[in-house]
Amino acid sequence: MSIRLLSDQLASQIAAGEVVERPFSVVKELLENALDAGAHKINVDIRDGGRRMIQAADDGHGIPAGEIETAFLRHATSKLQDADGLSNIHTLGFRGEALAAIASVSKLTIISRTEAQRSGVRLQMDGGKKTARDTVGAPIGTIISVENLFYNMPARLKFLKSTRTEKRLIDEFVTRYALAYPDVRFRLTHNGRVTFQTSGSGIEETLIAVYGAETARDLLPLTKEEGDERPIKVTGYSGQPSRHWSNRSRMTLFVNGRWVRDSNLTYAVTQAYHTLLPVGRFPIALIFIEMPTDTVDVNVHPAKTEVRFREPNAVFGAVQKTVRRTLIADSPIRDSGGWTVGANINVGARSDNPIGWAGRMEPQTGQSNLHLEWQRQDDALPTPDYSPAPAQPPIPALGGQKLPIMRVVGQIGAAYIITEGPDGMYLLDQHAAHERILYEKFMAERDRDGIASQRLMAGTAVTLSPPHATLLNENLDILNKIGFVVEPFGPNSFMVRAVPAIISKLDPTRGVTAVIEDLEQGDAPLQGKIEDKIILRVCKSAAVKAGQTLSHQEMEAMVQQLEACRSPHTCPHGRPTLIHLSVAQLAKQFGRI
């Protein structure tokens, strides 16, 4: 077969595969062009997740009438003049590929007018070819309508995700840039309904519009170290450690006003929270990095979401140190109470001479060995008794379904319940144990008569970000099946009228947030599986936490309910609820054997 030169139209369609991957990509390119044009108001209208139509209207400086056709030629741009400009890019766009790529895979209409023109120009294109041009009345700025995206590329159209997923991706992108440009008014409409808008009056109001008032209150402004004159400037917000999530999606990064994906910088933020978050949980953070343009290369990927730094370690360190310094400055110094080791044991009554202790587990042939270290506040230490220990009964196996009868002794570290059983001591993880109890109650009610609801005296309003509001709105029927009663209550807001009676003490906002965490993990699986997954998450959120002090009666009630469970030895996620320390093990540790 002879070598031939591809036609311009086919070359544009091939290039579109790199620049325009899905409807979200079109919104990204149009939005960035509007910001580069100096827009103060940007309206984005979406139909059917972007398949049927995407329209972006802005009040920027517009395109001159004599250049409007040129704007849709490949590699035509006003933002880059020569090769030297690649090392000093100040705009979001610069390649000159986006408009040509979008026009080649859609039916496109553009109306634009500059301040110097008395009327605007309307240009219509079909698959990259001009079909009409005329003069129309129009405000200053640009309106671009993209219809029937990928109509001439059925293979690409077939591989698009569901309308809900495409809509969520668009929501996430528009809200990101609203945060980066808080002085610009954004409005996003889906199928004629406004789902997100900002007033352009500053970052505080934008944070509330994106995250909701409750989450916005927990965001800490990043502080700059006095005397720091480094060219890398890190600003933004980081969430308090009490706000954590199951994935990294709440960490948003901007470099010189450009949203980027960078796993190293995401790791830098995560490292700043080291020891402050539970294992497997991630923070919320909004990071803006400003640096000289000649120290960052944005010409890495056609989508312009990846960048390279001249000194990546310096950027990593600047982000990590800034976030860590903010978190440490916000954290109060806790009084250790004069104890040098471990935490005090809570046995329901105050002791005049409490004992602190710390332990660590070591595997020994299927058993667990606890090394104890203890220290009294006074200097007089008791002399240990090394008399021979009595013969020990056989260690009971924990492989069965039932637990032995246990007597509550106390609580240690506000996290573990100490009990005495037939042969030694049992330590119960109060959070894991309560998770198991709640989960079995949930499943028993669901299998019997359905999960009972507890009406709230006054409904609780919950405001979510646009992507999360979309997820919740489309899954309200699942929440109703597990005992929640949630109703739409304005744009991106919901009113919680009832919660499952089993967890009636749970903060409704926490319950809804827990549900959202599971719903956002991609497209929903089978109905029954997503219900089970949500029940697991709700139980985890409602269970008592480590650090929560329990009364003696509460500990006894928890132990009794755990004893009644069908699978008491693990939480629903598979973690152990208790460990056993036999009398023989204790005697060995104290040198009695």
pLDDT per residue as tens digits for the range 350-380: 333 333 333 333 333 333 333 333 333 333 4
Phi, psi angle pair for 538, to nearest 5°? -65, -40
Q: Residue range 405-422: average pLDDT?
A: 89
Looking at 280-406, list the stretches that DSSP marks H as alpha helix, in order from N- to C-terminal side: 312-330
The reply to whether 458 falls in a domain is: yes
Verify that 386 and 447 share a domain, yes or no.
yes
**How many contiguous H segments (helices) and E segments (strands) does the chain have?**
16, 29
pLDDT the model gives residue 374:
33
Classify residue 298 as exposed, middle or buried by CB count within 10 Å of its CB (0-12, 13-18, 19+): buried
Phi, psi angle pair for 98, to nearest 5°? -65, -55
Residue 296 is part of which domain span?
218-330
Percent of the residues in the chain that have a pLDDT greater than 90, as a whole number: 32
Please identify, among 267, 301, 330, the residue that sits at the C-terminal boundary of a domain: 330
Please identify, among 201, 230, 248, the residue that sits at the C-terminal boundary of a domain: 201
Q: How many domains, the chain?
A: 3
Residue 224, both tokens: 């700059």
* Dist CA 439 CA 432 (whole Å): 11
Verify that 193 and 164 share a domain, yes or no.
yes
pLDDT the model gives residue 53:
95
Q: Is the pTM of this model over 0.85?
A: no
pLDDT the model gives residue 350:
38
pLDDT the model gives residue 188:
94
Looking at 212-311, list the stretches that DSSP marks H as alpha helix, in order from N- to C-terminal side: 213-217, 263-272
pLDDT band at 227 (very low <50, low <70, confident <90, very high): low
Verify that 169 and 314 share a domain, yes or no.
no
Verify that 367 and 322 share a domain, yes or no.
no
Residue 466, both tokens: 């646009």
* 230 pLDDT higher than 80: no
Verify that 109 and 236 share a domain, yes or no.
no
* 393 pLDDT higher than 50: no
Verify that 326 and 349 share a domain, yes or no.
no
- Asked if 148 contacts 154 with a C-beta cutoff of 8 angstroms, the reply is no
Q: Residue range 502-518: average pLDDT?
A: 76
- Asked if 442 contacts 500 with a C-beta cutoff of 8 angstroms, the reply is yes
Phi, psi angle pair for 550, to nearest 5°? -110, 145
Verify that 259 and 351 share a domain, yes or no.
no
CATH number of the domain enclosing 179: 3.30.565.10
pLDDT band at 23 (very low <50, low <70, confident <90, very high): very high
Length of the chain, please? Answer: 593
Q: Residue range 438-444: average pLDDT?
A: 86
* 463 pLDDT higher than 70: yes
The reply to whether 208 falls in a domain is: no
Q: Residue range 491-509: average pLDDT?
A: 81
Verify that 281 and 394 share a domain, yes or no.
no
* Dist CA 113 CA 51 (whole Å): 27
Q: What is the largest CA-CA distance in the chain?
A: 105
The reply to whether 2 falls in a domain is: no
